[in-house]
Amino acid sequence: MTAAILDGKKLAKQIRDELRDEVADFIENNAEVPTLAAILVGNDSGSEVYVRNKVTGCEQVGMQSRMYRLPAETSQDELLSLIAKLNKAKDEPVHGILVQLPLPKQIDVTRILPAVSPLKDVDGFHPENVGRLVQGKPRFLPCTPFGIQQLLVRNKIEIAGRHVVVVGRSDTVGKPMALMLMQRGLGGDATVTVCHSKTNNLPEITRQADILIVAIGQPKFITAPMVKPGAVVIDVGIHRTGKGLVGDVDFSGVSRVAGHITPVPGGVGPLTVTMLLVNTLAAARLLH
């Protein structure tokens, strides 16, 4: 068997095409351009690329963005005061605010995420928005899980009733992904198992997955024997190596057993950025 590629780049382009029309409508009806504020603290090279992808994405769909670059030695209070200013943003509109992660170590992320207005929290990381997701009334869905859910739904991959195994339990990907897929209704109704670095007999569990979602942060961690023949494999990992980007999945081995697989690059990544744009338009609507 050789797996069908789930093309995230192509779907991202399609969703951006849809968004461009919706953004144009919004501007016509509200005389205001949906605007994203992106805060980058320090100069981590990955983060630089990610923020640039987001700014470029805004341009592509006709939204505005403002980038706030703070030096690596910025204090927590300095960051909090910029966020407070953007929360208000009276004279010039800011509809969505994102603080690029990870943050330098002098800043406690658990102090920063609750400081972003929950109505502008386009990453969906504010505790109120996390709580809403848990209770089945989401406001902003976290971008990576949102993108993965769209990839499955729009490729007509059955989710309801199937066994999804999520490998990784981060607050940004694994945890919200599990919640979204176990939710009732479209894009949900799955049976979800969450595994992580301390799970015993991991291959025994991953082999039971109809849909295997991997966000464990270790290059080529999932190998062919860990995958059930015909399974759908979603690779969230991104690792820079001498031979380019690789994911958490050993693509060449796993694509021989899986039914569907996402590539790296061009799989989940472009969708993560695109769902941020979707959330920014949603934030602009929320504030009108």
* Residues at the site binding ligand BQF, with contacts judged by CB under 6 A: 50, 53, 101, 238, 264-266, 269-270, 272-273
Going from the C-alpha of 209 to that of each of 130, 190, 285, the distances in angstroms are 26, 11, 38
State the residue for tokens 């009733």.
161
Residue 149 or 183 having the CB closest to ligand BQF: 149
Catalytic annotation present for 7: no
Catalytic annotation present for 156: no
Residue 228 or 263 having the CB closest to ligand BQF: 263
Residue 233 or 238 having the CB closest to ligand BQF: 238
Tell how far CA 200 is from the center of its chain: 27
Output the residue with the shortest Cβ distance to ligand BQF: 269
The residue annotated as part of the active site, out of 64, 100, 149, 183, is 100
DSSP states of 68-104 as a string?
EEE-TT--HHHHHHHHHHHHH--SS---EEEE-SSPP
Least distance between ligand BQF and beta carbon 264 (Å): 6
User: Which two tokens mark 197?
Assistant: 């670095």
The residue annotated as part of the active site, out of 64, 121, 123, 235, is 123
Contact between residue 149 and residue 232 where contact means Cβ atoms under 8 Å apart: no
Least distance between ligand BQF and beta carbon 216 (Å): 12
Catalytic annotation present for 54: yes
Least distance between ligand BQF and beta carbon 268 (Å): 7
H-helix or E-strand spanning residue 175? helix 174-182
- The residues assigned a catalytic role are 54, 100, 123
